[in-house]
Homo-oligomer: A and B are copies of this chain.
Amino acid sequence: MSFASGRHFLQIPGPTNVPDQVLRAMSAPTIDHRGPRFAAMVPPLLEALKPVFGTAGDVVLYPSSGTGAWEAALVNTLSPGDRVLCFETGHFATLWQRMARDLGLEVDFVPGDWRHAVDPADVPARLTPQTKAVLVVHNETSTGVTSDIAAVRRAMGDHPALLMVDTVSSLGSIDYRHDEWGVDVTVSCSQKGLMLPPGLGLNAVSAKALAASARLPRSYWAWQPIIEANKRGAFPYTPPTNLLYGLREALHMLHSEGLPQVYARHARHAAATRAAVQGWGLELLCLDPEAYSNTLTAILMPEGHDADRLREVILDRFDMSLGAGLGKVAGKVFRIGHLGHFNDLSLAGTLSGVQMGLQIAGVPVKDGVSAALSVLAEA
Chain A positions 1-60 with a Cβ under 8 Å from a chain B Cβ: 2, 4-10, 12, 14-21, 23-24, 26-36
Q: Is A71 interfacial (CB-CB < 8 Å)?
A: yes
Q: Give the residue among A32, A236, A258, A370 with the most B Cβ atoms within 10 A.
A: A32
This chain: copies in complex: 4
In the complex the two chains form, is B343's CB within 8 Å of A355's CB? no
**A218 to nearest B CB, angstroms?**
7
Q: Is the CB of B242 within 8 A of A26?
A: yes
Contact with B along A330-365 (1 / 0, CB 8 A): 000000000001111111111011011001100000
A29→B10 contact, CB < 8 A:
yes
Contact A239 B30 (CB under 8 A): no
Q: How far is the CA of A28 from the CA of B8 in the complex (A)?
A: 12
Judging by beta carbons under 8 Å apart, are B27 and A23 in contact?
A: yes
Closest Cβ neighbor of A354 among chain B residues: B345
Residue with the highest number of chain B CB atoms closer than 10 Å, among A253, A346, A369 = A346
Q: Check if B352 sits within 8 Å of A71, measured CB to CB.
A: no
Residue of B nearest to A320 (CB): B345
Interchain CB contact (< 8 A) of A345 among B199, B243, B350? B350
Contact of A102 among B219, B241, B257, B317 (CB under 8 A): B219
Contact of A343 among B7, B10, B14 (CB under 8 A): B7
Chain B residues positioned under 8 Å from A104 (CB to CB): 217
Question: Are A18 and B24 in contact (CB-based, < 8 A)?
Answer: no
With A26-B26, A346-B349 as contacts: A261 and B2 at CB distance below 8 Å: yes
Which of A61-69, A147-155, A176-184 touches B? Answer: A61-69
Report Cα–Cα, A241/B367, bound state, in Å.
36
Q: Return A283 CB to nearest CB of chain B, in Å.
A: 22
A257 touches B5 (CB 8 A): yes
Given contacts A63-B199, A198-B241, A217 and B217 within 8 Å (CB-CB): yes
C-alpha gap A127/B124 in the complex (Å): 54
A243 → chain B closest CB, angstroms: 6
**Residue A297, interface by CB 8 Å:** no
A324 within 8 A of B: yes
- Asked whether, in the complex, the Cβ of B377 is within 8 Å of the Cβ of A360, the reply is yes
- In the complex, whether A318 has a CB less than 8 A from a CB of chain B is yes
Contact residues, A307-325 vs B (CB, 8 A)? 315, 317-321, 324
Q: Can you offer 9 A-B residue contacts whose CB atoms are under 8 A? A: A4-B253, A5-B341, A6-B346, A8-B29, A14-B238, A67-B237, A191-B238, A197-B241, A318-B344
Interface of A with B (CB < 8 Å)? 2, 4-10, 12, 14-21, 23-24, 26-36, 62-68, 70-71, 80, 99, 102-104, 189, 191, 197-199, 201, 216-220, 222, 236-243, 253, 256-258, 261-262, 265, 315, 317-321, 324, 341-350, 352-353, 355-356, 359-360, 367, 369-370, 373, 376-377
The 10 A-B residue pairs with the shortest CB-CB distance in the complex, in nearest-first order: A6-B343, A4-B257, A349-B349, A348-B352, A345-B349, A67-B237, A199-B240, A32-B321, A197-B242, A356-B377
